[in-house]
Amino acid sequence: MKASSQNILLNYRQKAEKQELERFYPRAALSKDHSRYRGPEDDHRMPYKRDVDRIVHSKAYSRYIDKTQVVYLVQNDHISHRSLHVQLVSNFARGIAEILRLNLDLVEAIALGHDVGHPPFGHEGEEYLSELSKEYGRGHFAHPAQSCRLLSVLEPLNLGLNVYDGFLCHDGGMRSPVIKPRFDKTWDDHFEEVALRLEDPQASIMPNTLEGCLVKICDTMSYLGRDIEDAISLGIIERGDIPDTGMGKSNREILSFLAQDVIEYSYEKDYIAMSEGAFQSLKELRKFNFEKIYQHPKLKVESEKIRQSYRILFEQLLSDLENSGESSYIWKNFLGNKPQGYLEATSQVQMVIDYISGMTDNYFVRTLQNIFIPKRINLHE
């Protein structure tokens, strides 16, 4: 870019940053403080907007379309998949963030990228993959840490520190009605917290920003009501089964109630909060969902097959890689285009974990079929 163009861009960016200072809440994340591990980059976009664009154009984001949210292996085009879930979180959180005068681009970046680390078949698949990871000496598998790894190592997008931090800290939003940020984290702090998350996936790690705290709480709020609507459409529950929490009995009513409550209790505060009453109601609704939806026998009829499939696929891919190297299935379909730095720094077990965790549900099944189901032999090829 010519020097004159760079100066014009710098002038526009400085004006936009000044507008943020005038418009944003004082503890909101500012573009001028955006931090990339590999250093700043020049662009016409504000840095968090550029992060949003990179996430949306990533391969990992495109795979959301066939990643389980709650219900898997059911023929129903209206059931939520991971792609819809992250969009719903983003829309819901942005609506609140606009009133609270927070950075909408950072909220969107965290919301859209926070679940890319989920393996096939949702939290159930995460449980099975974590069992194998521990058995083979890699410790726990935790999708928040894998989201960071996927978009920094496997697809090195060079996103901002606060974006990766939001990915890592997005779960566990139901432990308290108040979520207080741990402001001013460094990259070293982030890497330490990634290690902590892998050591203890249930560890309570607070985000670095108000935006991260908002996504953390909105993630839970967004899926509970939507999962209820899905369960009703599938005939798993009836609307009359929903407990009377005072929030309403439809997704629209629940989200409207919660958004107003969060705005009231978070406005011009250095934390994100909801009332104690709303918190208890949300806990009651979450308990209902777990008991009546997430553990419903009709949704678990294939669970043991999936567990066994994870083990069979994991062990076959690992054995094949160990014995066949560059002729192995995983090399031809995953490792062959990876940079030398990844190949040298990554154990074979972790390579298999990276490969399986990035699969969509259908790709997981197709890979099983490709490896284990006999095919017709063509003698003329």
pLDDT tens column, 5-31: 677 777 888 898 999 999 999 999 999
Which residues sit opposite 272 in a β-bridge? 179
Distance, in Å, from the CA atom of 37 to the CA atom of 237, rounded to the nearest integer, reads: 47
pLDDT at 52: 98
For residue 261, the surrounding DSSP H or E stretch is: helix 251-266
pLDDT at 122: 92
End-to-end CA distance of the chain: 52
For helices 104-113 and 47-56, angle between their N-to-C axes, nearest 10 degrees: 20
Distance, in Å, from the CA atom of 353 to the CA atom of 337, rounded to the nearest integer, reads: 17
Dihedral angle sign, alpha carbons of residues 290, 291, 293, 298? positive
Distance, in Å, from the CA atom of 206 to the CA atom of 125, rounded to the nearest integer, reads: 25
Alpha-helical (H) ranges within 57-186 are 59-62, 82-100, 104-113, 122-135, 143-149, 161-168
Q: What are the backbone dihedrals phi and psi of residue 158, each rounded to the nearest 5 degrees, phi first? A: 55, 50
- pLDDT tens digits, residue range 347-379? 999 999 999 999 999 999 999 999 999 888 888
Domains of the chain plus CATH, in order, are 3-299 (1.10.3210.10), 303-372 (no CATH)
* pLDDT (tens place) for every residue of the chain, 381 residues total: 555 667 777 788 889 899 999 999 999 999 999 999 999 887 888 999 999 999 999 999 999 989 988 888 787 777 788 999 999 999 999 999 999 999 999 999 999 999 999 999 999 999 999 999 999 999 999 999 999 999 999 999 999 999 999 999 999 878 899 999 999 999 999 999 999 999 999 998 999 999 999 999 999 999 999 999 999 999 999 999 999 999 999 999 999 999 999 999 999 999 999 999 999 999 999 999 999 999 999 999 999 999 999 999 999 999 999 999 999 999 999 999 999 999 999 999 999 999 999 999 999 999 999 999 988 888 876
- With b for 16 or more beta-carbon neighbours within 10 A and e for fewer, the 26-64 pattern comes to ebbbbbeebebeeeeeeeeebbbbbbbebbeebebbebb
For residue 356, the surrounding DSSP H or E stretch is: helix 348-357
Dihedral angle sign, alpha carbons of residues 171, 66, 113, 134? positive
pTM, entire model? 0.95
For residues 111 and 61, is the Cβ–Cβ distance under 8 A?
Answer: no
pLDDT at 5: 67
- What is the 3 state secondary structure string of 309-335? HHHHHHHHHHHHHHHHHHHCHHHHHCH
Q: How far is CA 230 from the centre of its chain?
A: 20
